[in-house]
Amino acid sequence: MHRQGGDLRGLDRDTCLDLSTCVNLYGPPPSVREVLRDLDVRRLRPHPYEAESSFRAGYAEHLAVDPSLLVPGRGITEFIHILTRLLPRDRIAVVTPDYTDSIRRVVNHLPPVPGEIDTVGSRLDRIATGMARYDYVLVSNPNNPLGLHVPVAELAEVCRMNPRSTLVVDEAYVDFLEGGQRSMASTDLSNVVVLTSPNKVLGMAGVRMGALWTRDARLRQAIADERLNWPLSFLDSAVVIAALRDSAWVEGTRARLLDGARVLEALLDRRFGGVVKGTPVHYRFVASEDPVRDHAELVRSGVVVRVFDGDQAGRVPGLRVTTPKDEDLPKLIDALATRAGRA
């Protein structure tokens, strides 16, 4: 089963609790509604000449990076597609399990030992092995779907030991982490590429915005040249910039989700077992011998989660469950209890 998270076609959207997508379920922030309410529609008439520069400046401030090192684009997926078109297929590998488009677009996989669930240490080992063998290694960090996060200092050390290889880090969920140095964009390394997007933490996956960061000027220019004219729309840029300025909302909802994730972990572990525990993100992965059955039973109880059946290369069988909003937690508890009664 390879349906993308959040794809509820064929289900009753009004009654289902959707925990299948890793978007911040409290979003978008109120500032977005205000921007849309006050929008002068005449701003949509001309081409969006200023959208890219406006987003680059606002996002660089949010990331605390040099804006000249950012290439804006339509989300992380666009950059994965551009990179895999530009780079030799036999010289790039992906550490699996990983994001759907990464494992589809990169043919060389660096999987865990069969039958074992990853750890931070085992992922770091495979990153090091991959950088010793390939010119480019792609990895999501925090990992999608497991949630494991390899600390920046440890990744940076591997990059220093392999200066002829470039690490491409998909940081779609790094904004959910707490603490200081979270992103590889905080390093001074030239053999690092960071793929980043504010869409998940802002609860705005319907807005396609993101950026690529690297100190490698040659690669940065090559990627920028592959984009279409006007890579960002005026509307997307306007709402994302407004949302990023609402830092108090971002901090507050992140804290609520991380608190809820600890409750979610305990609930899932009590019902299923097999939970990848202690991950610093707002979702949890549940390893399962029959994830399709587990998914179907939850759907019958009104809860939709992301299911991975393990048949696709680069996947491990299990469920990925996003933390619900506080007011939706009782529905999940009821669904898990219903499932327990059938076990």
- How confident is the prediction along the chain (343 residues), in pLDDT tens digits per residue? 455 555 565 555 567 899 999 999 999 999 999 999 999 999 999 999 999 999 999 999 999 999 999 999 999 999 999 999 999 999 999 999 999 999 999 999 999 988 777 999 999 999 999 999 999 999 999 999 999 999 999 999 999 999 999 999 999 999 999 876 789 999 999 999 999 999 999 999 999 899 999 999 999 999 999 998 899 999 999 999 999 999 999 999 999 999 999 999 999 999 998 999 999 999 999 999 999 999 999 999 999 999 998 778 889 999 999 999 999 999 999 999 865 545 4
Which tokens is 223 given? 């990627």
Angle at 127 between CA 102 and CA 194, to 5 degrees: 55
Whole-prediction pTM: 0.93
What is the DSSP code string of 3-55? PPTT--TTS-TTT-EEESS-S-TT-S-HHHHHHHHH--GGGGSS--TTHHHHH
Distance CA 29, CA 327 (A): 17
Query: How does 309-340 read in b/e, with b if 16+ C-beta sit within 10 Å?
Result: ebeeebbbbbbbbbbbeeebbebbeebbeebe
Q: What are phi and psi of 213, to 5 degrees?
A: -120, 135
Give how far Cα 140 sits from Cα of 43, 76, 98, 99, Å.
36, 11, 6, 7
